[in-house]
Amino acid sequence: MTATNKPYNGFAFVVAGAAIAGAVTLGSGGCSSDQDALVVYCAHDQVFSERILRRFEQETGIRVVPRFDTEATKSLGLTNLLISEKEHPRCDVFWNNQMLGTAELGRQGILHAYKGDGYRRIPEAYKDPEGYWTGFAARLRVYIVNTDLMQPTDEEIERRFAGDDLSRIAVARPMFGTTLSHYSVLWNLWKPDRLKLWHADTRRREISEVAGNSTVMNLVAKGTCDLGWTDTDDFFVAKDRGDPVAMTPIRVNGETICIPNSVAIIKGTTRLRQAQQLVDFLLSAETELELAKSQSRQIPLGTVDEGDLPPDVRPLKKWAEEGCNLSGLAQSRGECLAWLKSESVR
């Protein structure tokens, strides 16, 4: 992998999100009865997603009861919960903070297809051709570099990865979250044998494998590691604290790795009309712009007025437009995850 863009050093204010497991009622201002309330499983950070769900309630009168994911399970928890509930679904709409787990639910027959107004404004690379799920409001996989310790250039990053000792390079464990999506892209584009060799070789050279992307960010920001893999939202947490960091996009075969949120309707819902309303609401330009202006700077995938985008997000949107196609990677994700699980029990 090589990074072919110059590093980005934009600045804005960020507050790290916290996700809380369990069902929480957003409000009682809507006119709907409890029977009509939408149950939404949500893996996006509660600090950002809750206010959007509340705005949906206020604008439509449809009551929402969300269940938020925990940081520890990295969205895999809710995906597995939906699989376990397949025969007796409790959820109406799944708002995931990535898309390949949602695609796996589609493969297992858990989702209800819907192609509404929101679906039509999202590029083909980030939605299911049959309409079982749709991506929106993305993050990018990036190298985060401590600029006190190294130059954030393509050449220097490549040199560090080529070294005999990788202990000052940090990556999150690949069984969860966006690192699993990252590995799934490599599984598809590099093919399994190459990824397995690369994985074994980097562990032999003692790459620092840590709990999650935020841990990678903190290790690099503090200077414990020189560089690492993370996501754009985690990078901005460090940048906004004033840490000496820069980022540049990770590319595979010349393409970036753009990982959207995704939304899907659960098959068997008895509140289909309300679920469709929420899906279109989340896939709207207004919601994508709201998330772009949030402290995590999510990247709109559909057409928006770029003059409305924060300065931090404008270059990210260009990078996102160069992203690899994720719409057909559900099988790659499943195969890659099975291999990673087998590796973890060795």
Task: Dump pLDDT digits (tens) for 106-116.
Answer: 999 999 999 99
pTM of the model: 0.85
The domain of 236 spans 139-256
Give me the chain's average pLDDT, please. 89
Rg of the Cα trace of the chain?
A: 20
pLDDT at 226 over 90: yes
Are 65 and 111 part of one and the same domain? yes
Confidence of residue 76 (pLDDT cuts 50, 70, 90): low
Residues 164-174 have pLDDT tens digits of 999 999 999 99
Cβ within 8 Å of residue 338, ≥6 positions away: none
Which pLDDT value is given to residue 196? 98
Asked whether residue 143 is domain-assigned, the answer is yes
Are 167 and 222 part of one and the same domain? yes
In contact, 105 and 111? CB cutoff 8 Å: yes
Which pLDDT value is given to residue 40? 97
Are 153 and 294 part of one and the same domain? no
Which pLDDT value is given to residue 9? 43
> How far from the centroid of its chain's Cα atoms is residue 7's Cα?
21
- Tally the domains of the chain: 2
Are 183 and 199 part of one and the same domain? yes
Are 124 and 152 part of one and the same domain? no
Mean pLDDT of 169-182: 94
- CATH number of the domain encompassing residue 51: 3.40.190.10
Confidence of residue 131 (pLDDT cuts 50, 70, 90): very high
Nearest Cα neighbor of 140 from 152, 151, 129, 126 is 126
Q: Which of 76-85, 121-130, 271-280, 307-316 has the lowest mean pLDDT?
A: 76-85
Confidence of residue 22 (pLDDT cuts 50, 70, 90): very low
Residues 244-287 have pLDDT tens digits of 999 999 999 999 999 999 999 999 999 999 999 999 999 999 99
Residues 41-57 have pLDDT tens digits of 999 989 999 999 999 99
At which of 256, 287, 302 does a domain end?
256
Are 236 and 153 part of one and the same domain? yes
Are 149 and 99 part of one and the same domain? no
Nearest Cα neighbor of 8 from 235, 243, 297 is 235
Asked whether residue 338 is domain-assigned, the answer is no
Asked whether residue 14 is domain-assigned, the answer is no
Q: Is 270 left (phi over 0), alpha (psi -120 to 50) or beta?
A: alpha
Q: Any bridge partners for residue 94, and if so which?
A: 41, 264
pLDDT at 16 over 80: no
Which pLDDT value is given to residue 36? 73
Which pLDDT value is given to residue 13? 26
Residues 291-325 have pLDDT tens digits of 999 999 999 999 999 899 999 999 999 999 999 98
**Helices 46-60 and 285-292, packing angle to 10 deg:** 150
Give the Å distances, CA to CA, from 244 to 218, 222, 226, 239. Answer: 11, 9, 11, 7
Confidence of residue 34 (pLDDT cuts 50, 70, 90): low
At which of 233, 256, 279 does a domain end?
256
In contact, 118 and 282? CB cutoff 8 Å: yes
Mean pLDDT of 7-28: 36
Q: Is 132 left (phi over 0), alpha (psi -120 to 50) or beta?
A: alpha
